[in-house]
């Protein structure tokens, strides 16, 4: 039987999700119908540059290759291991059909493991005894013919890291970043030592406006969970050390590219198979 439903795990590997014959049409309808809602013949396609704000009936796209871990989906799905909620940490759900991938983001709120979930049947509520997860009525991104389509960069970036598709911050943009009242960093050192990745992270951070509403004390506390040391100055600003690796790590964290496995609790970086 052809399998169409899969999950990408937090380590980047893929698992297939086996569905009963009765359930398969329901899940298929979710992905296909909401995929049409996201991308249809009337949708104007705009190539992503990091600087475009969408209007209605527009969608962004990036020309890219899918990770190698997805190769077997189209050619050898029989060889892909089955999803096991007891040990696997889901990052993304997707449906594959007609050489098109329909992606849906996944987070801990959708995982019904070790929770008192009640279901209603025959006028009585019973407790769900097995692990389960929720499939939302949404498609966050589509991949077809070498193009990755999405409306929300934030959602798309949770599926695949898209940092490389941002332009590098110019020196003037670095100066603007240094002027943020949540940041404390030696301006000239940052200009002189920012490599391509650091400059792209600065661009992403500026575009997302994450720091505009951020609580730096909470940022420091959250970073501790990843053994990432973030210091604050006397006014509560994030202190960027004059060390390229530490600077890059803090920027990566601020751009929300660290995460915790939903079940194992292991710490990861986006699109990395190593722990953080």
The verdict on 142 and 188 lying in the same domain is no
Give me the pLDDT at residue 258, please: 62
The verdict on 134 and 177 lying in the same domain is no
- Of residues 86 and 138, which shows the higher confidence score? 138
pLDDT digits (tens, 9 = 90+) for 237-258: 999 999 999 999 999 888 877 6
Tell me if 263 is assigned to some domain: no
**Residue 134, pLDDT above cutoff 50:** yes
**Span 68-77, average pLDDT:** 90
pLDDT digits (tens, 9 = 90+) for 143-187: 999 999 999 888 898 899 887 787 889 999 999 999 999 999 999
**Span 93-98, average pLDDT:** 96
The verdict on 86 and 188 lying in the same domain is no
The verdict on 53 and 147 lying in the same domain is yes
The verdict on 19 and 127 lying in the same domain is yes
Q: Whole-structure pTM over 0.85, yes or no?
A: no
The verdict on 40 and 89 lying in the same domain is yes
Tell me if 190 is assigned to some domain: yes
The verdict on 81 and 195 lying in the same domain is no
Least confident of 58-67, 238-247, 262-271: 262-271
The verdict on 221 and 99 lying in the same domain is no
Question: Range of 192's domain?
Answer: 167-256
Give me the pLDDT at residue 270, please: 55
Tell me if 68 is assigned to some domain: yes
The verdict on 173 and 142 lying in the same domain is no
Give me the pLDDT at residue 269, please: 52
Mean pLDDT of the chain: 87
**Residue 205, pLDDT above cutoff 90:** no
Domain-terminating residue out of 127, 161, 195: 161
Tell me if 272 is assigned to some domain: no
Give me the pLDDT at residue 121, please: 79
Please give the structure tokens belonging to residue 30: 């979710």
pLDDT digits (tens, 9 = 90+) for 23-46: 999 999 999 999 999 999 889 999
The verdict on 153 and 176 lying in the same domain is no
């Amino acid at each position: 039987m052809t399998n169409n439903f899969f999950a990408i795990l937090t380590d980047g590997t893929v698992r297939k999700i086996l569905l009963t014959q009765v359930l398969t049409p329901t899940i298929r309808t979710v992905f296909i119908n909401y995929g049409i809602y996201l991308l249809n013949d009337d949708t104007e396609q705009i190539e992503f540059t990091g600087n475009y704000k969408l209007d209605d009936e527009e969608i962004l796209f990036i020309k890219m290759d899918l990770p190698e871990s997805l190769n077997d989906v189209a050619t050898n799905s029989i060889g892909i291991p089955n999803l096991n909620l007891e040990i696997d940490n889901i990052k993304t759900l997707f449906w594959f059909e007609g050489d098109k991938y329909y992606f849906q983001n996944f987070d801990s709120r959708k995982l019904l493991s070790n929770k008192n979930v009640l279901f209603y049947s025959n006028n009585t509520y019973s407790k769900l005894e097995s692990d389960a997860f929720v499939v939302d009525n949404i498609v966050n991104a589509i991949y077809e013919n070498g193009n990755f389509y999405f409306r929300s960069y934030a959602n798309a970036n949770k599926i695949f890291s898209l940092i490389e598709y941002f332009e590098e911050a110019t020196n003037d943009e670095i100066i603007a970043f240094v002027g943020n009242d949540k940041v404390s960093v030696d301006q000239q050192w940052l200009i002189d030592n920012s490599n391509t990745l650091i400059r792209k992270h600065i661009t992403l951070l500026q575009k997302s406006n994450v720091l505009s509403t951020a609580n730096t004390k909470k940022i420091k506390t959250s970073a501790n969970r990843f053994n990432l040391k973030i210091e604050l100055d006397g006014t509560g600003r994030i202190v960027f050390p004059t060390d390229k690796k530490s600077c890059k790590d803090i920027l990566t964290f601020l751009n929300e590219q660290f995460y915790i496995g939903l079940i194992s609790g292991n710490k990861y970086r986006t699109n990395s198979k190593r722990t953080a």
